[in-house]
């Protein structure tokens, strides 16, 4: 049961629009708001001093990008006119249109946008925090560990290479197998794949959630001789002994525990909403920000919107989804402020460039329900097949599109769909 907090004390400041989170979603929605109305009073709350282009970490782990190329100082990315509050949020008081910061200051708002990202729960796997970065244990889900992935891939000559995937939801659901394919591609090119045995330990029951892309992926599973173990959830890691413990769910629903030795282990941690979201009035029963999947407005508090990884929408949790969501939220916040009249509609778009080998990508693009939503005609780029054009898109086009487009309020390939009237969103 969530704690009941008293009404907040005197307000220490107020803003027309308050944004919780300065990641991809937060900065993009702030930029989109100000591109529509430069006179808005907008503030972003985020204690971090560094912003990361996380989609690039897959390529850091494959030796394509440097880690340093994926980071920027947060101050350099704040849209002009935005006030940056370098604080953490302690709790929300939506009944009073206010929130409380970690230093107990109270901020009021007319409109609140919540996009703090999600929590990578490394400690949920016993022994993992102590093992990361040594003993062959790595993860492309951390800036400081992605270079270690590439180091391990280059050094491994033989043995067991395990790649884990936790239960959904996770950010970039394809990332666990991206690391696997790129590693296997390097070992194949070096003539080592026969001596190295790759194994995909997936807590889920399918290789990828959108069936149209599975045939192309399975060709690479066969090419790299990858063993697929579904229903296997990583629960413990013994780094010095190089042994991983999994709970296996059987067809009848029963479970068993098994251990596997490894020479390299790429781990993807369980993921959930941040604690201050899960324990707040904004959360649904599972702890995620409870929003309408199309308008992205909170289901109970009309002046609160959510986007990015912390919401309970069923889209893939990717930067591409946030890129599409930001203009929708910006538009709909301005409708709530009576600056615009037509609500925008989010269709669940998400994208996952599946790096199946160095130089080729299966470009998965889809909306709610797994409906394919390609950005390009099939003659130019068929996302269901591995192509060099898709690799060129990820390596050369998407990073500048992120830094210079999405985070600057330029809505290339992301212009929102507007309803004919406000009742239709």
The per-residue pLDDT for range 356-412, each reduced to its tens digit, is 999 999 999 999 999 999 999 999 999 999 999 999 999 999 999 999 999 999 998
For the chain, what percent of residues have pLDDT higher than 70? 97
Active site annotation includes 272: no
Query: What is the model's pLDDT at position 9?
Result: 62
Write 94-99 long-range contacts (CB < 8 A, 24+): 94/281, 94/282, 94/300, 94/301, 94/304, 95/7, 95/281, 96/7, 96/8, 97/303, 98/8, 98/11, 99/18, 99/20
The per-residue pLDDT for range 14-37, each reduced to its tens digit, is 999 999 999 999 999 999 999 999
**Segment 59-71 mean pLDDT:** 98
Q: Which of 115, 172, 184, 272 is catalytic?
A: 172
Q: Which pLDDT band, with edges at 50, 70 and 90, does 163 fall under? A: very high
The pTM (predicted TM-score) of the whole model is: 0.94
Cβ(234)–Cβ(131) below 8 Å: no
Q: Which pLDDT band, with edges at 50, 70 and 90, does 417 fall under? A: confident
Strands (E), 267-359: 271-272, 304-306, 344-345, 350-357
Cβ(234)–Cβ(244) below 8 Å: yes
The per-residue pLDDT for range 260-319, each reduced to its tens digit, is 999 999 999 999 999 999 999 999 999 999 999 999 999 999 999 999 999 999 999 999
Query: What is the model's pLDDT at position 422?
Result: 46
The chain-wide mean pLDDT, for the chain, equals 95
The per-residue pLDDT for range 243-259, each reduced to its tens digit, is 999 999 888 889 999 99
Q: Which pLDDT band, with edges at 50, 70 and 90, does 421 fall under? A: low
Query: What is the model's pLDDT at position 424?
Result: 44
Check pLDDT > 60 for residue 425. no
Q: What is the CA angle 56-59-61, rounded to 5?
A: 110
Active site annotation includes 172: yes
The per-residue pLDDT for range 137-148, each reduced to its tens digit, is 999 999 999 999
CA distances from 277 to 125, 161, 283, 288 (A): 22, 36, 6, 7
Q: Which of 115, 184, 272, 352 is catalytic?
A: 352
Write 143-147 long-range contacts (CB < 8 A, 24+): 143/52, 143/57, 143/67, 143/70, 143/71, 144/67, 146/57, 146/58, 146/60, 146/61, 146/67, 147/60, 147/61, 147/67
What backbone torsions phi and psi does residue 124 show, to the nearest 5 degrees?
-70, -15
Q: Tokens representing 210?
A: 């959108």
């Amino acid at each position: 049961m969530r704690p009941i907090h008293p009404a907040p004390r005197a307000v220490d400041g107020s803003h027309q629009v308050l944004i919780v989170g300065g990641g991809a979603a937060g900065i993009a929605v702030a930029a989109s708001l100000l591109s529509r109305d430069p006179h808005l009073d907008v503030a972003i709350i985020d204690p971090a001093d560094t912003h990361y282009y996380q989609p690039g970490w897959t390529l850091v782990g494959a030796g394509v990008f440097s880690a340093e190329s994926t980071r920027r100082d947060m101050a350099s990315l704040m849209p002009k006119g935005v006030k940056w509050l370098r604080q953490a949020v302690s709790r929300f008081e939506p009944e009073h249109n206010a929130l409380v910061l970690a230093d107990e200051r109270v901020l009021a708002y007319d409109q609140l946008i919540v996009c703090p990202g999600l929590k990578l729960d490394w400690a949920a796997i016993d022994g993992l925090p102590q093992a990361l970065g040594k003993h062959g244990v790595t993860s492309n889900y951390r800036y400081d560990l992605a270079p270690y992935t590439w180091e391990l891939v280059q050094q491994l000559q033989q043995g067991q290479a395990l790649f884990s995937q936790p239960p959904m939801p996770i950010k970039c659901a394809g990332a666990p197998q991206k690391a696997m394919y790129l590693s296997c591609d390097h070992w194949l090119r070096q003539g080592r794949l026969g001596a190295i045995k790759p194994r995909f330990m997936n807590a889920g029951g399918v290789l990828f959630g959108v069936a149209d892309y599975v045939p192309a992926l399975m060709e690479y599973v066969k090419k790299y001789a990858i063993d697929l173990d579904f229903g296997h959830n990583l629960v413990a890691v013994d780094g010095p002994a190089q042994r991983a413990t999994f709970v296996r769910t059987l067809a009848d629903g029963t479970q068993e525990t098994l251990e596997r030795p490894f020479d390299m282990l790429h781990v993807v941690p369980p993921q959930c909403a941040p604690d201050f979201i899960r324990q707040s009035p904004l959360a649904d029963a599972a702890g995620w920000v409870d929003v309408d999947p199309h308008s992205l407005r909170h289901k109970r508090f009309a002046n609160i919107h959510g986007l990015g990884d912390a919401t309970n929408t069923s889209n893939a949790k990717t930067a591409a989804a946030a890129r599409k969501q930001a203009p929708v939220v910006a538009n709909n916040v301005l409708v709530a402020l009576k600056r615009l009249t037509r609500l925008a509609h989010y269709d669940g778009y998400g994208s996952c460039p599946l790096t199946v080998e160095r130089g080729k990508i299966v470009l998965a693009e889809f909306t709610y329900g797994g409906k394919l939503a390609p950005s390009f005609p099939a003659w130019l780029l068929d996302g269901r097949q591995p192509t060099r054009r898709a690799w060129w898109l990820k390596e050369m086009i998407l990073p500048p599109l992120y830094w210079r487009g999405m985070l600057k309020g330029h809505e290339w390939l992301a212009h929102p769909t507007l309803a004919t009237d406000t009742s239709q969103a």
